[in-house]
Amino acid sequence: MEASKTWFQRTIGSHRLLKAFIFLLIDMSLCYPSEPQGELPYVTSDVKEVGGKSFDYIVVGGGTAGCPLAATLSEKFSVLLVERGGSPYGNPLVLDKRFYGFSLIQTDEFSSVAQDFISADGVRNCRGRVLGGSSAINGGFYSRASKDFVNSVGWDEELVKDAYAWVESRIVSTPELTPWQTVVEFALLEAGILPYNGFSLEHIEGTKIGGSIFDIWGTRHTSADLLKAANPKNIVVLLNATVKSIIFHSNGNASTTAVHGIRFIKSDGSTDQTYEAYLNQPKNSTSSGDVILSAGALGSPQILLLSGIGPHKHLKNFNIPHVLSLKGVGKGMKDNPCIAVLVDTDPQSRQPEPPQVTGIAKDFKYIVEGGIIPTSFNATRMPIAAKIAFPVSEGKLTLNSTDPRQNPSVKFNYLAEEKDLEDCANMVSLLERVAKSQSVTFYLGVKHQNNLMASTDEQRKFCKENVKTYFHYHGGCTVGSVVDDDYKVYGVKGLRVVDGSTFLESPGTNPMATLLMLGRYQGIKILRERENFSSSFSTQQSP
């Protein structure tokens, strides 16, 4: 038994040593010149401390977009950030690159940092449940959106650039390629994914090395690190509290719905007690703050539905009082179909590694990466995986329970549309060229195999039977259907959504960079908007 222990078990076993080591890592990273100095703001798990209090802004979900948003708003206003999970600090499953992927296999119902869900398609998936959100459990690959994307969604190009730079100076590093990543890089080139672009943060066709939120010492920098840029006097971070619903003003008139605050519970379910926090009501109600949902593509539509915003009939099934008909809530759920092929012949006990290189092929239609992922505590596999960047199939999200800690039901309808199936078949050909390249087969010492899938029918069948997630699911509160161009929820005063649920398409090579950027970007937008208000009503005191 002892002898069969892996480096992981041995390391976890010597817990105290590990703690000291992690501490050292964190400490060292603070000395890194590009790391901005700064302390985390006040963090509490005491719901009573926050219950009954008022804030200018309440951000729901301390995830990828929520943390930079809350930090930015705190520059001028009081902010409450509510996160259902705990702290990422001190947790090696989050911070230590050597344990990459372990959080995904060590899950439980209510407390693990990754929460599993199985879509109604039968595909296993997951989302972050910790301060830092999915940036605390993901591959950490950092790549901006293309210029075309930024233009198509109508964002201010200069502000987008500044917001990316703000994020990058704080948490993004240039990776040092591992031997396996170098092999994958050659394989992508061998498969014809050209040109070679070297290191780049841009979303450009060809093969490139991307940025990473893992630094060169192997420490992950989640979005939670961006809270070090907050004004500590203006922000409270509440952990281990799950937001249940939004509170509306009851004395409003029938034609407007205005937000008053939020209801939340303790995430551990130890009591049934519900707590409330409110929005400040400045004297002049034309310039007040918002509740901003940043609970992710599953969390934000779920909270809207639990609050009575969504399709009437569905809410009736759960006896949720209907507040506003917004048919788009939970609609437009998309997940990029992924096909992965294992290039190693059997499980081994290698050190896990996230992808550092990517192939962007066929007019940006396919994204190909390879990593080493743990499948159990002592076994790893080496998949080469590709996603379809612009799937047309979409599905929907509905409630499964009125308990906000439970997953909603979601169906993505992978490959339901003919176009996606056709794209997938072509993607399989590309994937086979990468997986069976000389670079890969030589490095792994596997015999060169030439048994490529012969027919399109075979490839389609393979696609249907093997479709997986690339974890870039999005939609549910899309721009134009649930929120307007300023990310304000249609028909409600004082409510916005800022996260991956607003996307019609997953931006860039992968979405994290753009979600981090979006939090900063929308924060600045809101600050500017209110600056205009206070300067046009100069008698008004900023709250």
Ligand X SMILES: *[C@@H]1O[C@H](CO)[C@@H](O)[C@H](O)[C@H]1NC(C)=O
Ligand Y SMILES: Cc1cc2nc3c(=O)[nH]c(=O)nc-3n(C[C@H](O)[C@H](O)[C@H](O)COP(=O)(O)OP(=O)(O)OC[C@H]3O[C@@H](n4cnc5c(N)ncnc54)[C@H](O)[C@@H]3O)c2cc1C
User: Residue 105 touches which of ligand Y, ligand X, none (CB < 5 to 8 A by kind)?
Assistant: none
477, amino acid identity:
C
User: What is the smallest separation between the CB atom of 231 and ligand X, expressed in angstroms?
Assistant: 21
* Of 68, 88, 92, 133, the one binding ligand Y by CB under 6 A: 133
What residues contact 181, with CB distance under 8 A and at least 6 apart?
A: 175, 209, 353, 355, 356, 357, 370
Binding span for ligand Y by CB under 6 A among 14-22, 132-140, 428-436, 525-533 = 132-140
Instruction: Pick out residues in 342-381 that bind ligand Y (CB under 6 A).
Output: none
Cα 267 to its chain centre, rounded Å, is 20
Does 303 interact with ligand Y (rule: CB under 6 A)?
yes
Does 349 interact with ligand X (rule: CB under 6 A)?
yes
- 434 appears as a binding residue in the annotation: no
Cα 492 to its chain centre, rounded Å, is 25
519, amino acid identity:
G
- 278 appears as a binding residue in the annotation: no
Ordered alpha helix ranges (H), 307-358: 312-317
Counting DSSP H helices and E strands in the chain, the numbers are: 15, 27
Q: Which of these is catalytic: 203, 221, 260, 472?
A: 472
Binding span for ligand X by CB under 6 A among 137-145, 251-259, 452-460, 475-483 = 251-259
Does 404 interact with ligand Y (rule: CB under 6 A)?
yes
- 482 appears as a binding residue in the annotation: no
Closest CA to 175 of 132, 135, 145, 218: 218
* Of 242, 358, 413, 459, the one binding ligand Y by CB under 6 A: 242
- 128 appears as a binding residue in the annotation: no
Does 84 interact with ligand Y (rule: CB under 6 A)?
yes
Cα 398 to its chain centre, rounded Å, is 20
Does 86 interact with ligand X (rule: CB under 6 A)?
yes
Closest CA to 83 of 323, 296, 349, 284: 296
User: Residue 86 touches which of ligand X, ligand Y, none (CB < 5 to 8 A by kind)?
Assistant: ligand X
Does 323 interact with ligand Y (rule: CB under 6 A)?
no
Is residue 472 annotated as part of the catalytic site, yes or no? yes
- Give the x/- contact pattern for ligand Y in 51-70, rule: CB under 6 A: ---------xxxxxxx----
Does 42 interact with ligand X (rule: CB under 6 A)?
no
Q: From CA 520, how far away is CA 229, in angstroms rounded?
A: 11
Instruction: Pick out residues in 428-457 that bind ligand Y (CB under 6 A).
Output: none
What residues contact 102, with CB distance under 8 A and at least 6 apart?
A: 8, 93, 352, 374, 377
Binding span for ligand Y by CB under 6 A among 73-81, 171-179, 383-391, 504-512 = 504-512
* Of 70, 94, 137, 189, the one binding ligand Y by CB under 6 A: 137
User: Residue 63 touches which of ligand Y, ligand X, none (CB < 5 to 8 A by kind)?
Assistant: ligand Y
Closest CA to 297 of 332, 339, 261: 332
Sheet-wide strand order for 409-411: 331-333, 395-398, 409-411
Does 522 interact with ligand X (rule: CB under 6 A)?
no
User: Residue 352 touches which of ligand X, ligand Y, none (CB < 5 to 8 A by kind)?
Assistant: none
Q: From CA 71, how far away is CA 78, in angstroms rounded?
A: 10
Phi and psi, residue 542, nearest 5°? -65, 135
Binding span for ligand Y by CB under 6 A among 123-131, 149-157, 381-389, 482-490 = 123-131
Does 140 interact with ligand Y (rule: CB under 6 A)?
yes
Sign of CA dihedral 216, 217, 221, 226: negative
Whose Cβ is closer to ligand X: residue 382's or residue 427's? 382
- Tell me the three-class secondary structure of 167-235, residue by residue: HHHHHCECCCCCHHHHHHHHHHHHCCCCCEEEECCCCCCEEEECEECECCCCEECCHHHHHHHCCHHHE
- Tell me the three-class secondary structure of 439-489, residue by residue: HHHHHHCCCCCCCCCCCHHHHHHHHHHHCEECCCCECCCCECCCECCCCEE
Binding site per annotation, positions: 130, 243, 470, 500
Residues that bind ligand X (CB under 6 A): 4, 45, 86, 111, 239-240, 253, 255-256, 283-284, 286, 347-349, 378-379, 400, 409, 528-529, 532, 537, 539-540
Binding site for ligand Y (CB under 6 A): 60-66, 82-85, 104, 126-129, 133-135, 137-141, 242-243, 294-297, 299, 303, 404, 471-472, 499-500, 510-513, 515
Binding site per annotation, positions for substrate:
470
The catalytic site residues sit at 472
